[in-house]
Structure 1
Amino acid sequence: MHSIAKNCRRIKENLKLLNPIEQYNLIKNNPNQIYQYNFINDNPQNKQIGFIAQNLRNVFNDNNIVQGNENDLYDHNVPLTVDYGRMTTYLYGALKQSIIEIENLKKKNNELEEIIISIKDEIKYLKYIISL
């Protein structure tokens, strides 16, 4: 089953740009694990992967990622659901911020490598001076 979201600008209003740093921190500080499982009363060979909705609710409580009634947490007839489409948007923001941070670290690393080369050259020069 594929999830299709309505993403056309023409049908949206009250747009608010989300901060990728907040999305990054939300994902980075998320203690939830990804599980492999099968559904109760289903063939054990039908392996699934995903999160536990009850655990995600603590992280994404205001973002409609987890849907369902809090009072139905343990009612197997009305399970909580995870909207992976919405979660993907947060993951995109976190990935975007991660890429920015990686690029900044690469730049800083290159600068430090240049400094190291310069220091090595100075040491070689000082050794030469001392040997005279």
Structure 2
Amino acid sequence: MYAHHQRLDSEEVQELRREGGRYLKELREARGLSQRQLAALVGTEYYTFISQLETGRGRIPPDRYRAWAEALDIDVRQFVQTLMRFYDPLTYDILFGPERGSAARSGGPGPRGTTVQAG
């Protein structure tokens, strides 16, 4: 069974969630939406769920990413990539972090699945 190595009570994880919550709140406010309005747009029964997310006490379920991106008027890929930074920083760093260009040095996969020859 998979067990995520990051403990949910760790201060680092909690701070990332709070940053993610601030990001969501900024997007919501930029659209001029109340928490109730956003809850209705994303199909959440309780607007308090929005409040919980904005304070870093939860995560958007992945099956709702598209609805959230549409409600917040943001490109879904950009939205998910940014959320990944807060929700799954290890995967984010692998996919988008500074080591991303190392494939060219190692002879591994390059852009669009091509193989880059080292040296």
Q: Give your verdict on TM over 0.5.
A: no
Larger strand proportion, structure 1 or 2? 1
